[in-house]
Amino acid sequence: MKHSILVSDKFDDEGIQRLRSNPDFEVIYENGCDRKRLVELIGAAHGLVIRSATKVDAELIEKAKNLKLVVRAGVGVDNIDIPEASRRGIIVMNSPGGNSVSTAEHALSLLMSMARNIPAASASMKGGKWEKSKFKGVEITGKTLGVVGLGRIGKEVVKRARGLRMNVIGYDPFIPAANLADLEIEIVSKEELLSRSDFITVHTPLTDSTKHLINLNNLSSLKKGVRIINCARGGIYEEAAVTEGLRSGIIAGAALDVFTQEPVPADFPLLSADNCVLTPHLGASTDDAEFAVAMESIDQIVEYFKTGIARNALNFPTLDPATLEFLKPYFEGGEKAGKLLGQLANGDFHIIEINYYGDVAGYNTQPVTTAILNGALSLALGDEVNFVNAPFLAKDRGIKVLENKNKESRGFAGSVEIIFTESTGKKVSLSYTSLQKEAMVTALFGLNIEFRPEGILIIIENRDVPKVVGTTGMFLGDHNINIAHLELSRDVKGGTARCVITVDELLDDSSLNKMRKMENIISAVQIDLR
């Protein structure tokens, strides 16, 4: 089956041709389509590639019945309703690497243009004037540059600013200071950065913690005469505060590439500010960046539909290859374990407790937890649940998910214990580990027993007396059911025993009910993990 990929915004021609040359994809390239056309096309699309023009809102997502993937060719995803996409099981990716250099260079271009009043001086000369004394600037060497946001773009800015012999300080609300030591700059608090910086540039997403970083309330805490740059997202600086700061002289200059409303309205107050440099969202607008972003986006699409790996996903954990290799048995086993326990609980559970032990506890276990939830909910929701929306659907159904990590091992180098609590208070549980890079269940209902969570299983609880295993085997043979594996465990001699039988074919309901009525059988459950 071919995957239908809709590219709704202007895109690099070579990228389009590269995707079209792949026989696994059918490409619909609109080069910028209106809303009506987009709504007409979205229903058949498996993948959607956008830039900043297309709005992927709840209304569009509702009509995207086959959509699996949205790729933003660029960094900002303000035009995508990520929570709604997640609820619908749609992976959202961006392509952050391709335009890092172009955006960093634009930020520094704005900084120097502002410092030396180049745009205003150029406009003055073109107006027939020679106003040398009016456009006296400031040097940047030795000045303090505050960089807010030290991700890909912020780091590129730091490298270049240090090369220009600026004193660079940094603040990042999302990255621990210990992880930024390689930048060899001073990491400070937000308040200190605002009060010390001669220049401030921002390179963060627009979030609750970054919105209105500079605002009317903290304007007076800025260093008098500061110059500010924004090539990230409109709204990180409160535009009313920038206007007031420029008027009062607290802010000596502003250079903005992004705005709360784009295009800006005709009455936008900063259009008439002499000490403000404005560009129409040009940060990533270079041929080099557009080509790099296009190639990165195409690579992500092909990789996802061929391998299932979601690189740069914003609503699904992205793992490096080494971590992926280590965790693969755990999340593959987790999905099967969740499905197994969900069936044992008859889909009736309201608490899922997941305990990670040993070396696995040192990893990002979010994919494993998601896999367990995916398996558990699949009994009730079928194809509606997947690795993106499983946590949202669990929350919507009132299922409480508890996670605990303990780096001390319990019999194996790493293991996972899962406990489902039913509405009656009854608990069903199992533990599993990675054995030779495959998942292996090591305990069921607290009893030590080893079996692979795969295929068709018949799980029997019986009284620990002679002949039960033999008569069960005879019963299956009489019903033409072949046994592939059989594992046994018991609590105490003469107590209660468990038997896990892997069989080649499903036992029909009538035959399963007969098995349950056999002498000394307490319960028998058939689990399909195929």
Taking only the tens place, the pLDDT of each residue in 114-131 is 999 999 999 999 999 999
Contact (Cβ atoms closer than 8 angstroms) between residue 353 and residue 404: yes
Phi, psi of 521, rounded to the nearest 5 degrees? -85, 125
Which domains, from first to last, does the chain contain?
Answer: 3-98+289-307 (3.40.50.720), 100-278 (3.40.50.720), 317-452 (3.30.1330.90), 455-530 (3.30.70.260)
Q: Pick the closest to residue 225 from 359, 115, 317, 371 (CA basis).
A: 115
Query: Mean pLDDT of all residues in the chain?
Result: 91
Helix axis angle, 100-115 to 152-163, nearest 10°: 50
Q: How far apart are CA 301 and CA 311, in angstroms?
A: 9
**Computed from CA positions of residues 497, 500, 503, 509, in that sequence, does the dihedral angle turn out positive or negative?**
positive
Instruction: Please give the model's pTM, rounded to 2 decimal places.
Output: 0.60
Mean pLDDT of 167-175: 87
Averaged pLDDT for residues 350-368: 93
User: Rounded to whole angstroms, how far apart are CA atoms 71 and 46?
Assistant: 11
Active site residue 3: no
Q: How far apart are CA 386 and CA 186, in angstroms?
A: 43
Residue 220: pLDDT over 90: yes
Tell me the backbone φ, ψ of residue 333, rounded to 5 degrees: -70, -35
Are the beta carbons of 64 and 5 closer than 8 angstroms? Answer: no
What would the pLDDT profile of 86-110 be if each residue is shown by its tens digit? 888 899 998 877 788 999 999 999 9
Can you tell me whether residue 412 is helix, strand or coil? coil
- Per-residue confidence (pLDDT) for residue 412, from 0 to 100: 93
Mean pLDDT, to the nearest integer, of 332-336? 93
What order do you get walking across the sheet with 25-29 strand by strand? 25-29, 3-7, 47-50, 69-72, 91-94
Written as six digits, the tokens of 366 are 């979010």
What backbone phi and psi angles, to 5 degrees, belong to 268? -60, 120
pLDDT digits (tens, 9 = 90+) for 2-16: 999 999 998 889 989
350 is catalytic: no
Average pLDDT value for residue range 151-162: 93
For the chain, what percent of residues have pLDDT higher than 70?
98
Q: Is the dihedral of CA 22, 23, 24, 25 positive or negative?
A: positive
Residue 199: strand, helix, or coil: strand
Predicted confidence at residue 37, as pLDDT, reads 93
Residues 6+ apart with CB under 8 A from 372: 334, 335, 337, 338, 352, 354, 418
pLDDT of residue 324: 78
Q: Is 46 a catalytic residue?
A: no
Cα–Cα distances (Å) from 207 to 173, 202, 425, 492, in that order, read: 10, 13, 40, 57
pLDDT surpasses 70 at 383: no
State yes or no: pLDDT of 385 exceeds 90.
no
Distance CA 386, CA 401 (A): 17
Evaluate the omega torsion of the peptide bond into residue 263 and state whether it is cis, within 30 degrees of 0.
yes
pLDDT band at 384 (very low <50, low <70, confident <90, very high): low
Distances, alpha carbon 290 to alpha carbons 12, 262, 409, in Å = 7, 20, 49
Catalytic hit among 262, 303, 325, 505: 262
**Active-site residue identified among 72, 227, 233, 452:** 233
Task: Report d(CA 280, CA 275) in Å as an integer.
Answer: 17
The active-site residue, picked from 152, 162, 281, 490, is: 281
In sequence order, which residues have a C-beta less than 8 Å from that of residue 163 and are 6 or more positions away? none
Question: 364: which DSSP letter?
Answer: -
In terms of Cα–Cα distance, which of 19, 10, 6 is closest to 69?
A: 6
Structure tokens at 278: 């404005």
What mean pLDDT do residues 420-449 have?
93
